[in-house]
């Protein structure tokens, strides 16, 4: 078996931070009201769809007003309290495959988590 070495792939990105007078719970509730509070099981939708048309119709039936849907929730606050850190930290993975496919079809390079790779 060949030895694998990591390859650095530089990318340029911007992190946006918005200050708010709303509480963490208010912001989280508003976001979940927009994208749904139960993650879409994308692998299930894919397996149960016979075509792109049926797949995209199922996705579009589940997106919120922003055209995004919740794929996963990771509650980092749950595990960091085990080491004494009491903080509300949640990562939500949201997206829309019917929007992503446009970027994949028309982009010059593959797109992955905000990065582009020339290979």
* Whole-number pLDDT of residue 22: 96
Tokens of 80: 């960091």
Sign of the torsion formed by the C-alpha atoms of 13, 73, 42 and 64: negative
Residue among 18, 26, 63 at smallest CA distance from 42: 63
C-beta separation of 95 from 71 below 8 A = yes
52-62 and 97-106 helices, crossing angle to 10°: 130
Question: How would you write the pLDDT of the chain (119 residues) with one tens digit per residue?
Answer: 577 889 898 888 898 888 999 999 999 999 999 999 999 999 999 999 999 999 999 999 999 999 999 999 999 999 999 999 999 999 999 999 888 888 778 766 655 554 444 44
Kindly list the domain boundaries of the chain, sorted by start residue.
24-112
* Whole-number pLDDT of residue 110: 56
* Whole-number pLDDT of residue 111: 55
What pTM did the predictor assign?
A: 0.73
Q: Distance between CA atoms of 15 and 114, rounded to whole angstroms? A: 11
């Amino acid at each position: 078996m060949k030895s694998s070495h990591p390859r650095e792939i530089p990318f340029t990105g911007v992190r946006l931070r918005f200050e708010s007078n709303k509480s963490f719970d208010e912001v989280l509730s508003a976001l979940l009201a927009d994208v749904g509070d139960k993650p879409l099981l994308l692998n299930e939708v894919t397996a149960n769809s016979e075509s792109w048309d049926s797949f995209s119709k199922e996705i579009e039936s589940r997106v919120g007003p922003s055209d995004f849907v919740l794929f996963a929730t990771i509650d980092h606050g749950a595990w960091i309290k085990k080491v004494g850190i009491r903080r509300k930290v949640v990562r939500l993975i949201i997206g829309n495959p019917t929007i992503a496919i446009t970027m994949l079809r028309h982009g010059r390079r593959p797109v992955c988590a905000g990065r582009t790779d020339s290979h």
